[in-house]
Amino acid sequence: MTSPLPPFDWDIFCCVVDNFGDIGVTWRLARQLKQEGALPAQKSEVQVRFWVDDLASFARICPALDPAQDGQWVDGIYVQHWHERLPADMTPARVVIEAFACELPAPFIERMAEQTTPPCWINLEYLSAESWVEDCHGLASPQQVGSRRLDKYFFFPGFTARTGGLLCEHGLIVERERWQQDEAGLTAYWASLGLPPQREDELRVSLFTYESEALRSLVEGWRQSVTPVTLLLPLGRSLDDVLIGAGLAEAIPGARAGDLLQAGNLTIKLLPMTDQAGYDRLLWSCDLNLVRGEDSFVRAQWAGRPFLWHIYQQEEDAHMVKLDGFLDHYLSPLPAPAGQWLRRFNHALNRGEYTGELWAQWPQYAAIWQQHGRTWPQRLLADGDLVTRLVKFLESRI
């Protein structure tokens, strides 16, 4: 006999897109809300229910999840498989989050309207650095459900005080600092990946991007570099471009996690997919991180290290506008020559252009980029993280 479910404080709905992007962000949100999402005047333990339509993809980043179970507890969060039929005894939580405009099922909305005190309905939007999000953040959109009106509030993650901020767990920066300063721990970490300790003259780079011909020239530059480069490459969409750039196209068909490949002064270590904590440690350990989408992009910023962002491609180059919106914020503290170089570098990666000459300038700008990477997280957190701002936003609405 199964135990009855508790009343939930938070319902989060996620429709899995592109395998790991949306689910990565919302799973981090769910776990942080479980730990830090106490609502105003709440004295009991926070209860979070997480609705996901694709449990198989979710399990790739959450190994404790059993995709065959319709409902289960993972890390103190109730994971509910989201399909057409709702559980018969389901009651909506006090706050309902519709992640990335995934559209709540109509029967669920009807149950929301039936509650004596309807839930607060939040539409969590995609992260954007464009200026217009400040004007839209927090706005209500009235929804007529039968004879009742429900307000759906737009909540925009962002980079300024007038947006919803970014996901960052309390204590994360302290944990990262401890990790990066622990030389013995880093040696043990590299050994766990089958690598020797990092040499003083060596660069270690992680790469988790989409396909891009720019990777071919970048990897070719690493192969021919005077400085030894070790590339940590999780198996995925960028594998072919990387191995072609390294002159190792023949290795593509048989490439497996755990393989160690050599090309000139470049060493490539192929990694399996990891959970989110493992990916954080990889970002914290490398000198440069190439990341994509939204989740890995935000985590690279908390790593306090240089990074390049391969943004999700959209029609009519709409993604380049979003990229430049972010770069306007990120590059503003830098001297003009460094900022111009970094903007060109990000543009080249996202347009699939030749990057050899840009990488050749790494020695010139590396130190200032590294210093900027260390101070950037403090700028972002000056007005609070996303969960802190979300709970504050709800104070007068529940």
Backbone angles phi, psi at 203, to 5 degrees: -105, 140
Phi/psi class of residue 238: alpha, beta or left (left: φ > 0; alpha: ψ in -120 to 50)?
A: alpha
Q: Which one of the listed residues 125, 280, 294, 295 is annotated catalytic? A: 294
H or E segment to which residue 144 belongs: strand 140-145
For residue 155, the cross-strand partners are 124
Q: Which one of the listed residues 22, 98, 125, 241 is annotated catalytic? A: 22
* Tokens standing for residue 364: 């010139």
Phi/psi class of residue 235: alpha, beta or left (left: φ > 0; alpha: ψ in -120 to 50)?
A: beta
Q: Does 114 qualify as catalytic in the annotation?
A: no
Nearest Cα to Cα of residue 231 among 218, 249, 213: 218
CA distance 158 to 20: 20
* Tokens standing for residue 308: 């390049």
DSSP-H helix ranges across the chain: 21-36, 55-61, 106-114, 133-136, 172-180, 183-192, 214-223, 239-245, 276-285, 295-302, 318-330, 336-351, 356-359, 362-380, 386-394
For residue 77, the cross-strand partners are 74
Q: Does 324 qualify as catalytic in the annotation?
A: no
* Tokens standing for residue 179: 């990790």
Catalytic residues: 22, 294
